[in-house]
Every structure is written in C-alpha cells, then in structure tokens.
Amino acid sequence: MKKQLLMLPLFCFALGAAAQKDSVKPMKSQIPFEGQDATWQNGSDRRDSSLIQTKYFTGSVMIDANYTRSDNNPVDHTVVGSTALARNNEMEVSSVNLGGDFYFEGARGRIMTQFGTRSTVVPRNDLSPYRGQYDLANVYRYISEAYGGYHFNVMHGINVDGGMFMSYVGLNSYYQVENWEYQASFTSDNTPWFFNGIRVQLFPSAKLKIELWAINGWQSYGMFNEMPGLGGNITWCPNENVKLLTNDYYGSDAALVPGRHRFHSDNSLLVRYYHNKAAKGISQAAFTLTADVGDEKGTGSDFGGAVNGFKNGDSLHGPAQYFASVMFYNRIWFHHNKFAWTIGGGYMNNPGRYLVLAPTGDASPFPNANNPTQAAGTHPFTENPGDHFEGWDCSTNFDWMPNQSISFRLEFVHREANVPYFAGPGGVTSPSGYTYTPLSSGWVPDLVKSENRFIIAILFRI
C-alpha cells in the first residue's frame, strides 16, 4: 500500500505533463456525462441549470424541512433507525446546505456545509472520532463535502481530489432534494453517505467513469485500524435513458479488531422506459433496481470475536457475518414533470448487525461512546457476532414540483424488522421522554418490530 501511495505523486506529475502538452486545446468539461439528460435519475440533480453560476463558481443552496408522524407516537418524539429523520410529530429542519464548486485553470474545489438535525444524526454513527484526540465528530459535523483537486485535460478528463466527498453507495444521494423517496430503504440508509480520503476519477469516454478511492474507512471521519479503505466505482451510461453502476469496497472497519476485514459490492440499474415531455398526461417513467452483497471475515481480539463471512464456522472461525439487500423503485411523472408518483421498497439481511443503525446506542468496545439517547449506555442494541437482523420496507409518495427549485412531498412509509427495533409509545429516552428524568430500575427503552410513518417534506434548491 505504501508503494502505491508513493506512486501517486509520479502519476499526478505524468498527468500534469500531458495536460501541459495539450494546453493549447480547450479544457475538457468537468461535468460527468455532459450532454446527457440526468435530471430524471434517482440520486441526481433534477435541475437543468444553476441560478448561481459564474466563470469560476457554481453555487448551491439546499433546504430540507419536514414534518414526520409515526403511528407509534413515542413519548420522547425520537426517531430511531434513520439518517434522514430525527424528531417525530414536530417540524424539523433536517438539513441546510450552502456552498458550491470552484474552478480555475484546472484547479477545482467543492465546499458544502450542513446544518440541522443531520449534523448530529450522521456523525453519531461513527466511532472513529473516539480514537485519539481533537473530537473529529465536532470538527467535521457541519461539513457534508469539502475537497480540492485538479482536472487534467486528457482523455475525456481526469480528476484527482482529496478531502470529503459523497459515496453514492446505495444509489441514493445524501441530499434528499435529489432522491425519489424521502426515507431511504434499508439498503441506502445502512451504507455510506460520505468518504474521507483521496479520489481519482477517470473518464475514458463521454459515457464511462472509473473512480478509485483510498479513504479512511467506511463512512468514517478517522481510521479504525491501520489499514485504509480501498475501493472504486464504475458508472456507464450508454445513453441518457440507461445508467449502470457498481461500487466496491474493502477495508478493516471494526475498532480494535484489525484481523476482521469487510468486503462490499453495491450495484444499481436505472432505466427510463418512457419519455414524452410534451405529453399532458404521463411525461416520463423510470425504475431503479439496487442489489448489495458483502461480508466481514477474520480473526477476533479481546474487543470482538472472529467472524466467518457467508458461512457459519466453528468456535475458532466464528459465526456468519454478512450483508445482503435489494431495493426497487418505480417513478412516474405527470403534466410536463410538474407532478410525480413513486412506489417501491426493499429488504435487508445483516447477521452480526455490523451495518445496522443502532436504535439505542452501540454495543462497541466503548459502551457509552455513541449515545443517541440517554438509554444507550444501559440498554445497548447489541451488535455481537451472530446477532440476527432482517428488515423490509415499502413506501409511496406524491410530489408537486411547480419549478425545478422546489418540491413538496407527501410520503407514507411502512418498515418492519425481525427484532424490536423502532421506537414504540414509551420512547427510548426515559419514562417521561426527557433526558433529565432519572431512569427507574425497571424501565427499558420501548422498541417494537414495525412502524407506519407519514412524512411531509419541503425540499428547496437553487
């Protein structure tokens, strides 16, 4: 790995020489798949242009505000098992994002801030900041993207970037304004939203992107052990109605268990099977299909037992520990794309629970390090080798989009798990629902196996 990292400066130097040689030619576009209509794609910007655009800067402002109601009506209003939502039965500002893209003669950079409940909901699921000092969760929590790099004018463009960038493992975008559904299916909600490291994007043609990553780890601000996460993405768009992509990852992401390694493969197909923008009725229709498979395998330590991938092993090799999931969504647009109806859902199986969002804390070697509720330290949701978790969900929503900068969404979501997982009427904080109420000896978090949820969201972007 050290030799590979040492080769990176030489690689960049060679690219720089090639770019300088071709400097008399026009700068190739830094926009992936330029000329193709991507506004229909799940996880993509649905606008055809930005209102904040100059020669050197393209700006972006996003606001995600919502009201969500659970039929379980938890006394503490806490939403569990979601990275998109935080509070039940209240109006909340989930995310405010400000920033944009900067570019000058090949130099490029992107900065996007994040304020709102997501600046707490997402960092709390990362235990890497508890290694060492400087409180990385607070250092980074108000940044969703921040990277700088260089665009080389070779082939159809090569970008080399360093910093924090979006992962798109699980297909959905981190920004809800780009997604067909609000509450992501288990496949997306339990896989990374961001990476922190180095990214190389190669565009051999106008229809193909190959991306390489050397990162700190699996949606982690820091590094859990000594091995960096390695992976990449291949995206192919043979035409503007079809998109195929794969994301693949390998790393060591169990804190203090360096002998355990994780593999993950995420694969998606997007197809727009009807398009007639001039139609007064149905203007376009598309579907997405995503399938993920992965596992953890390796020896244990004092802080975690051995695990054996897809097969149950003996006491030396440990139980099976893997991830398998699928999700499917279909979306139909009406009346010149002013309205849209989406329906879909998914399934996830994760023995060992290593990717499950813990509803009442984390059963890691640090029992009080990751406390989303007061009860986390006393009633953790276990994530031991062999612990079983299966979940499935379905949802449908209706969007009104009077213009490309605003969406009003009404969504219904049903989710179920094989074990008590979602917040029940008693909540997960205390008998009263407030953090300052003492916990009696007989009190436990009220977790149930299913929930029905209604979401009203206002999604703004310029």
- Delimit the domains of the chain by residue range: 57-461
Nearest Cα residue to 181 out of 366, 422, 396: 396
pLDDT of 279 above 80:
yes
Confidence at residue 11, expressed as pLDDT on a 0 to 100 scale: 44
Nearest Cα residue to 60 out of 95, 100, 94: 100
φ, ψ at 35 (rounded to 5°): 95, -20
Summarised one tens digit per residue, pLDDT across range 157-172 is 999 999 999 999 999 9
Query: 118 in the Ramachandran plot: left (φ > 0), alpha (ψ -120 to 50) or beta?
Result: alpha
Per cent of the chain over pLDDT 90 is: 76
pTM of the model: 0.90
Per cent of the chain over pLDDT 70 is: 89
Average pLDDT, the chain: 90
Nearest Cα residue to 295 out of 327, 253, 345, 258: 253
Average pLDDT over residues 329-347: 97
pLDDT of 97 above 60:
yes
CATH code for the part of the protein at 57-461: 2.40.160.10
Strands 339-349 and 450-461: unpaired
pLDDT of 16 above 80:
no
296 vs 69, 229, 260, CA distance in Å? 36, 14, 6
Name the band, by pLDDT with cuts 50, 70 and 90, for residue 42: very high
Of 219-223, 313-317, 399-403, 426-430, the range with the lowest mean pLDDT is 313-317
Q: At residue 186, what is the residue type?
A: F
Confidence at residue 27, expressed as pLDDT on a 0 to 100 scale: 55
Residues facing residue 397 across a β-bridge? 342, 411
Q: Would you give the distance in Å from CA 190 to the centre of its chain?
A: 8
In terms of Cβ atoms closer than 10 Å to its own Cβ (0-12, 13-18, 19+), residue 13 is exposed
Q: What tokens appear for 258 in the block?
A: 């360096």
Strands 143-152 and 158-166: antiparallel
Residues facing residue 212 across a β-bridge? 200, 232
Beta carbons within 8 Å of 276's beta carbon, 6+ residues apart: 282, 283, 284
Confidence at residue 14, expressed as pLDDT on a 0 to 100 scale: 45
Sign of CA dihedral 432, 437, 443, 444: positive
Reduced to 3 states, what is the DSSP secondary structure of residue 192? Answer: coil
Summarised one tens digit per residue, pLDDT across range 394-441 is 999 999 999 999 999 999 999 999 999 999 999 998 899 998 888 888
Of 182-196, 299-313, 345-359, 369-383, the range with the lowest mean pLDDT is 369-383
Nearest Cα residue to 171 out of 84, 75, 269, 80: 269
Confidence at residue 21, expressed as pLDDT on a 0 to 100 scale: 38
Q: At residue 106, what is the residue type?
A: G
Helices (H), 150-263: 186-189
pLDDT of 147 above 60:
yes
